[in-house]
Structure formats: C-alpha cells, structure tokens
Chain A
Amino acid sequence: MSNEVLLQATVQGLQMGAIYALIALSMTLVFSVGGLLNFAHGDFMALAMYGAMVAYVSFKIDAYVVAPIMFIIFFALGVTLFRGLVRPVLAAGVLAGAQLTLGLVFVQENLILVLFGGDYNNVPTVLSNRNLTIPPLVMPWTLIVGSALAAALSIALYVVLLRTDFGRQVRAIAQNRDAAALMGIRIDRIQAIAFGVGIGLLGFTGPVIVAQFTLTPTMGFDLTLIALIVMVIGGIGNFLGSMAGGLIIGVAESLGSLLYGGTVGAMIPYAILVFVLLFRPHGLLGER
C-alpha cells in the first residue's frame, strides 16, 4: 500500500477525529456538571442535522448559515431541558438521570421518524462535491471546513474552561460540589448554562458536518457510542483526554477500514477501548 494512500487516510481520520473530539467534549461538559451520562447526546446532533435538512429543503438556507441559529436554539433547548427535566430527575440520582437520557433517545428518534420518515437523506451544502487538492492529498471541502470549525470550537471551549471564571466554576462544581456552593457559586445556574452550551455545540456542529453523514432516524445513537468510547479512552470527565481520544479514534477508524476493510475497521475503536482499559482503567488522561 502506498504512502500516499496512508497519508490520505490519516489526514481524513484526523479530520473526523476533530469532529468526534468536539462531540465527546460537549458530552464531557454535560457530564462534568452533574455526573450525567447523556445517552441522547448524539440524538441531539441528529436532530440538528435534520433541522439543517428542513432549512435546506423548505427554505433553501445553507447548513453553514443555519449553524449559528441552531446553536442559539439548542442552547435554549438545553437550558430549558435542564431546568425542567434533567435537574429534577438528577436529584434522584445519576442512574435516574441516565435513564432519563435513554428515554430522550426514544423520544427524539421517534420524533424524527414521525416527522421525516425512515428514509435515508443527504443534505448538500454550498461546498458539496468540491475538493481541495494538495498533491498527494485530495480533501473534500465540507470535511475541511467541518473539522476546522470543530477543532476551533474544541480549542475555544477548552480555553474557556481553563482560563475563565465561568470555566473555573464549572470545574469547581465537578471537583467538589459542596465546596463550590460554599464559595457562593450558584450551582444551578452554572449547570444550566454548561448543559445549554453542551447541547448548543451539538446544534452548531450538526449542520456544519451534515454533508459528511447520511441521515437516518437512528444515526444519533451511533454518534453517542463513538462519543462514549472517546470519553472513556481519554478518561471520563477529562477535557484534554476527550480531545486526544477523538483524534485517536478518528485515525484508527480511518486507517482500520483502509487496511482491514469496513467490517473489521468498524471494530477497531472497540478494540482500542478494550486495550486502553486493560492498561489504563481510568483512561489515558483520567485521574483516580
């Protein structure tokens, strides 16, 4: 196999990895505030992609234009869901919270089924079918822009978490909730905002990578699974770990399907998961 092909697959893997990283990062953000594993995470993203489809089909608005609007809508949706549903249920325990999100999976997938039917859909964007050629690489513009936006958002989110008062409050709640309350941090408020940002990021990411996916009602759960693997590999709750895990899984998936074919390639992320957990039970960058 030629080096050019390997290079092509690696670059493509890194680009998909940047997208996985952002999904996992937003999942980590949601997890860090309340200990909630959001099994409906990918479904929110699927919903945003269908939103982009509606915008395109009905209003001829391009997905890239829809993305920032979707961020705002999904942020509001996240805050509302957190206040009205997640927080009251989470008070009964983390397990109840996880069950709630599993319920949200069914609600969203069936909502999509009812509204759009079970057909496969593709949503073209203004950049579809255009490639950037930098010999020996040929890269679709949709993937370049989608992954670049995902990477930029990941880095921005990371900087916010690391360097701002808001980020410090989010981390404080994750590390010791009672101590955070004793600082006078308004825990409910910070949690609602963090949840909103986590869901809002999915609202933004869905449209900008919509061209990379074939839309089906159940696609969301596949995305959730990938994000879960990425999170666990990186170390649950660790933001840097989620970013690194995303890139690892992206490259592994891409190289795996190139070298071993689609079926075996699809198993590679799970193999890596098992391998990492054997030697680092708390993930690559996880502590304790």
Chain B
Amino acid sequence: MLEVSGLVAGYGQITILREVELRVGQGELVALVGVNGAGKTTLMKTIAGLVSPAAGRISFDGAGLTGRGAERMVQAGVVLVPEGRMVFPRMTVWENLMLGGIHPRPRPHREATLRRVLDLFPRLAERREQKAATMSGGEQQMLAIGRGLMAEPKLLMLDEPSLGLSPLMVQETYAALRRLNAEGLTILLAEQNVKLSLAVSTRGYVLENGCIVLTGASGDLARDPATRKAYLGRL
C-alpha cells in the first residue's frame, strides 16, 4: 500500500533520513521505533508531504507521490496525526473535527464520519463546544486522532501518540488504535515507547540515525537482543 524507497530528506543543509526503505501493507499496523532524534518525525513528515525529500520515492496504492505536497497526500488517503497533537487551540472540538474533514474528498460525508468519530471517542461528544486548548493532553490526543479520522484515511500515521499522556490515557489511546486496526484501517505508528508499540503492532522497523537498522515481526524485534539492549534497557 505505502512504499518508501531510498528516501533521503532533511532540513536545509542537514540530512536526517539516509536511504530509508519502508513498506506498509493493506490492513497492517506497523510500528516505527527509535530513540529521540533518530528521524522518526522527519520520516513521518516527509511521507505526509510536509518535508520534500532530496531523493528517493514514495508511492501509495501504486501512484508515485514523491514531493507532491501535503494536500496531494490527503487526497490519496494518507493522513498524519502529528507529534505534539497540534490541535487548533482556539477552536472548539467541533471546529477541529470539521477542519479534519475539510478536504474535498472527505467533505461530502463529513456529518456521517463525525458521528463515527464521536462514537469512537464519546468524550469528544461531551466536549463538543469546548476550546481545544482547555482540554487535557489525553483529550487533545483523542481530538487529534479524531480529526485525522475525519479525513477518511486509508493509511493513518501517528507520531508519538503516547507522548506526555498518563498511563491510563496511553492505554485508552492504544485501545482505540487497536480497534481501528481491527476494523480494517491501516496504521503506521511512530513511537519512542518501544515496548508498547511493538506489543500492538504486527511488524516493526527500527530507525537509528536516519537509517532503518532492523525490521521484522514485532514479536521478534521485541525479543531481539540488540533492540532490547538499545531501546528497552535492562528489562
């Protein structure tokens, strides 16, 4: 479904990603793990069209989309829930969700999608008229995911959804992701929380200094001595 090959990207003179290879198949939940600064966010942003790659190829459903920009990626069905949630702070929950479905592709079915999103996150329904800035981190994360779903993604990418959340909220967020995946949504999940993300995913990639250094079934990665040593500490 998503194919990334030989991807080189960065900011200005600084190269962050070096020849990244990554694939996500229909219906998969794939984890992208690595320490802070490994290049996860840059990779997610590049796939989402916010950063233009210097070299390499990104294709989705067979169509070449390298460097075509964020609007084209949303059109194709690739939607990123960014790191730090990035909800629109001075807008209500409802406004944030409506903006999630603003693109001409999902816009005609916005109301129906909104009902599904509010079913998934009932708390958002309670907070409909509340300004996003006044909500807790966990609620903002739900809103960010809900907003992403409003764009009717074929591939939902999430960058550090557990960052800064209480353990209970992390559980709730991950339960929602599992449910979405079980319903058939393809998910690419970037996480520093290696243990957690390898536990929910089927396959994983380990990113280190802008290169994919390990890939395989999540269970194998979690048991791999190298991963354990580098990312899981002495567990």
Contacts and interface: CB of A to CB of B under 8 A. Distances in A.
| Contact-size category for A | 10 to 19
A184 B90 contact: no
Given A181-B50, A183-B102, A168 B91 contact: yes
Nearest to B96: A172
B69 to A, nearest CB: 8
Contacts of B18: none
A184 B70 contact: yes
A171 B88 contact: yes
A183 B91 CA distance: 15
A175 B71 contact: no
Nearest to B95: A168
B103 to A, nearest CB: 3
A181 B52 CA distance: 13
B88 A169 contact: no
Interface in A140-181: 165, 168-169, 171-172, 175-176, 178-181
Contact of A172 (B49, B50, B91, B105): B91
B33 interface: no
B75 interface: yes
A179 B89 CA distance: 11
B95 A185 contact: no
Interface stretch (B78-86, B121-129, B185-193, B219-227): B78-86
| Contact-size category for B | 20 to 34
B102 A178 contact: no
Contacts of A172: 88, 91, 99
Interface string A5-16: 000000000000
Contacts of A171: 88, 90-91
Contact of B88 (A165, A175, A184, A186): A175
A1 interface: no
Interface of B: 48-50, 70-71, 73-75, 79-80, 82, 86-91, 95, 98-100, 102-103, 105, 147, 151
15 contacts: A165-B98, A165-B102, A168-B95, A175-B90, A176-B86, A176-B88, A179-B82, A181-B70, A182-B70, A182-B74, A182-B82, A184-B103, A184-B151, A185-B103, A287-B90
Interface of A: 165, 168-169, 171-172, 175-176, 178-186, 287
Given A172-B99, A182-B80, A182-B82, 19 more contacts: A168-B99, A168-B102, A169-B102, A171-B88, A176-B88, A179-B88, A180-B99, A181-B50, A182-B48, A182-B50, A182-B70, A182-B74, A183-B151, A184-B70, A184-B73, A184-B102, A184-B103, A184-B151, A287-B90
